[in-house]
């Protein structure tokens, strides 16, 4: 499903190859987390708690707040695609608000998050 999503970003959204490579890398990073955290987890078993633990894990990996925000934005876009395409009704990001992300990552993230969100909808 993820490769289908990446094709969608390329063919329908017109994203650059570098951006698509970043989305692929972000997804692989998430899969690495899932593997380390609890073996291989199915995408249908991903919950809000999984995302919150993923944020904490990334902080433990000493990632910059902007990198964490980008990785979360990539995953949020993927889940939006899954939901909009009818693959799932579940979306672990529905209850992950900008406020929660800012609380977990700190206020220095705000500008990077806004730019990431705007670029995701083609406004930046």
pLDDT at 63: 86
Per the structure, the complete domain to which residue 28 belongs is given by 2-120
Task: Answer yes or no: are the C-beta atoms of 27 and 78 closer than 8 Å.
Answer: yes
Which residues lie closer than 8 Å to 75 by C-beta, 6 or more apart? Answer: 26, 27, 30, 51, 93
Whether the per-residue pLDDT at 124 is higher than 50: the answer is: no
CATH no. for residue 110? Answer: 1.10.150.130
Model-wide pTM > 0.85: no
Whether the per-residue pLDDT at 100 is higher than 70: the answer is: no
How far is residue 82's CA from residue 92's CA, in Å, rounded to a whole number? 12
Question: Alpha helix (H) ranges present in 12-109?
Answer: 17-38, 48-60, 65-84, 98-105
Mean pLDDT of 62-69: 84
């Amino acid at each position: 499903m993820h490769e289908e999503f990446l094709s969608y970003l390329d063919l329908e959204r017109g994203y650059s190859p570098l951006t698509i490579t970043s989305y692929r890398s972000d997804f692989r990073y998430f899969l690495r987390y899932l593997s380390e955290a609890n073996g291989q987890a199915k995408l249908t078993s991903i919950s809000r708690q999984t995302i919150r633990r993923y944020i904490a894990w990334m902080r433990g990996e000493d990632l910059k707040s902007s990198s964490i925000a980008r990785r979360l934005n990539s995953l949020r876009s993927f889940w939006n695609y899954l939901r909009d395409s009818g693959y799932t009704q579940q979306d672990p990001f529905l209850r992950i608000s900008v406020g929660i992300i800012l609380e977990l990552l700190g206020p220095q993230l705000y500008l990077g998050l806004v730019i990431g969100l705007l670029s995701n909808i083609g406004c930046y």
